[in-house]
Amino acid sequence: MGQRNEIQHWTLIEVAQHVAAGDVSAEEVARSALDTIEELNTPLGAFLTVTADQMLTQARAVDARRTRGEPLGKLAGVPLGIKDALCTRGVPTTCGSKILVRGSEPWRPPYDATTVARLWAEGALLAGKCNMDEFAMGSSTENSAFFPARNPADPTRTPGGSSGGSAVAVAARMIPGALGSDTGGSVRQPAAYTGCVGVKPTYGRVSRFGLIAYASSLDVVGPMASDVRGAARLLEVIAGHDPRDGTSLDQPVDAYEAACERGVRGLRVGVPEEYFGTGLQPEVKTQVEAAIHLLEREGATLVPVHLPHTRHAVATYYVIATAEASSNLARFDGVRFGLRHEPPAGDVTAMYEATRGKGFGPEVKRRIVLGTYVLSHGYYDAYYRKAQQVRTLIRRDFDQVFGEVDVIATPTAPTVAFLLGEQLDDPLTMYLNDVYTLPANLAGLPALSVPVAPAPPSGGGSPLPVGLQLLGPPLAEARLFAAAAVVEAMLTSRQPPGALSPTAPTP
């Protein structure tokens, strides 16, 4: 038990270092993770599928390479979770939906997503497929067709969504890292609610090949980890051009892990007043502002900025995202995907009931209907075209601000994690949980959430995790890691990278 506890509290990079040094075998790491998952997964609901046999096989292959003296990859022996929206060859992939389950047999893709394949090439171990809101539609993981995930900080509360299972697995120390997908904040918001690091890369920075689409112009695969450097290493591995993805950027990958040592001296940090007004929980505001001032104390310059079209982001997002979802999910028609039962041959009514009528949950149905409506004759110009025009204005706001500053600092979410069930019957309130994260997706910008000091819920109670969001111009992920590493170091009483003084100030 003692060794297991020690291993499970290692960061992603520490696991890789200990395995490479021979201090511990990859199989020992794998078994430690499996023991922790067995203990915690039922109460917390992080994993939909646990791939114990595959992880042990991969671990033994890593140990064999080390024994033979062969080079090991950057993630050799590191257990990782994969959001169930990413295809994994031969491993159940449901996207959190029963529409991809026929009878009792889930769909098993014949290929790996590019991001997943890149993890395996560096020696990572597959712990399993992580729980999520159905087809990534939700902000709480309560829309999973199987069971909700629960926040390790308080199991009566949501871990956020849609990548809630990935966040829970990392925050509960089942695994040191995971992949999620971020369409409107689905990596960053659960990272903030659970107290881990979540990164949304620049649109096109990471391949979407093998990611089951929700909204194609917004979806991005992003890493989650227990610390900033671990997230940086994960992004280094999965980033880069992929000819199988037509939106993939053919640009060199920066040294994100090395950027964590830069510090922030001379960095211009924009603080937009639109993100600190009505709707922001006062306790969250206090902790986020304190973290921003830590950056200032370490040599950054704070600059007030304005993003006037931010107030239109939620409405703009839900028009564009639902429109794209209604198109992307049309493939689940009971012919190629989506047949849950075997209706009588030629029985069209039974075919519909077996797929569209029963296969999708209420939130997915709601968004398909909304998307179909805004694309319909007579409403396209009034809603969809107008939303695209506003999207351009939001992007221009950011372009102008990034002419004045290097990064932008905001809260990740307006409140701490809310209670499970509290907002299920109020979708509009649920949608507002992503008010601070949506603009980065609409503008295609990189953004990162890093934990800051916790805050109590507005009604009182034990403090809960809070996230600071950092945004940058396209392909400026390295700047975000540099700033996040300083915040992380100062809040954990470590010497901040590039510090101005030999000892870190007390936060």
Question: Does residue 325 belong to any structural domain of this protein?
Answer: no
Question: Does residue 67 belong to any structural domain of this protein?
Answer: yes
- The number of distinct structural domains making up the chain is 1
From the number of C-beta atoms within 10 Å of its C-beta (0-12, 13-18, 19+), residue 425 rates as: exposed
Task: Find the CATH number of the domain harbouring 115.
Answer: 3.90.1300.10
Dist CA 413 CA 188 (whole Å): 9
Closest CA to 111 of 90, 83, 135: 90
Question: Does residue 62 belong to any structural domain of this protein?
Answer: yes
Quick one: tokens of 507? 């936060």
Dist CA 83 CA 46 (whole Å): 10
Dist CA 466 CA 417 (whole Å): 9
Write out the H or E segment, with its range, that includes residue 103: none
Are residues 168 and 431 in contact, defined by beta-carbon separation less than 8 angstroms? no
From the number of C-beta atoms within 10 Å of its C-beta (0-12, 13-18, 19+), residue 502 rates as: exposed
Domain that holds residue 119: 2-316+384-491
Task: Give the mean pLDDT per block of 10 residues along the chain (507 residues).
Answer: 83 98 98 98 98 98 98 98 98 95 90 98 98 97 97 98 98 98 98 98 98 97 98 98 98 98 97 95 98 97 97 96 95 67 48 52 94 92 96 98 98 97 87 94 98 94 97 98 97 73 36
Q: What is the pLDDT at residue 332? A: 85
Question: Does residue 326 belong to any structural domain of this protein?
Answer: no
Closest CA to 293 of 457, 480, 472, 486: 486
- Dihedral over alpha carbons 45, 48, 53, 57 (to 10 degrees): -100
Q: What is the pLDDT at residue 356? A: 44
Question: Does residue 365 belong to any structural domain of this protein?
Answer: no
Q: What is the pLDDT at residue 334? A: 67
Whether the full predicted model's pTM is greater than 0.85, yes or no, is yes
Give SS3 for 19.
Answer: helix
Question: Does residue 401 belong to any structural domain of this protein?
Answer: yes
* E strand map for 177-315: 177-182, 197-200, 220-225, 268-272, 301-305
Residues near 6 by beta carbon (within 8 Å), at least 6 away in sequence: none
Question: Does residue 351 belong to any structural domain of this protein?
Answer: no
Write out the H or E segment, with its range, that includes residue 202: none
Length of the chain: 507
Are residues 198 and 187 in contact, defined by beta-carbon separation less than 8 angstroms? yes
Dist CA 474 CA 478 (whole Å): 11
Q: Which amino acid makes up residue 33?
A: A
Dist CA 262 CA 191 (whole Å): 23
Question: Does residue 428 belong to any structural domain of this protein?
Answer: yes
* Cβ count within 10 A of residue 178: 32
Dist CA 249 CA 145 (whole Å): 34
- How big is the CA angle at 108 (ends 103 and 112), to the nearest 5 degrees? 165
| Alpha-carbon Rg for the chain in angstroms | 22
Q: Catalytic residue numbers?
A: 83, 162, 186
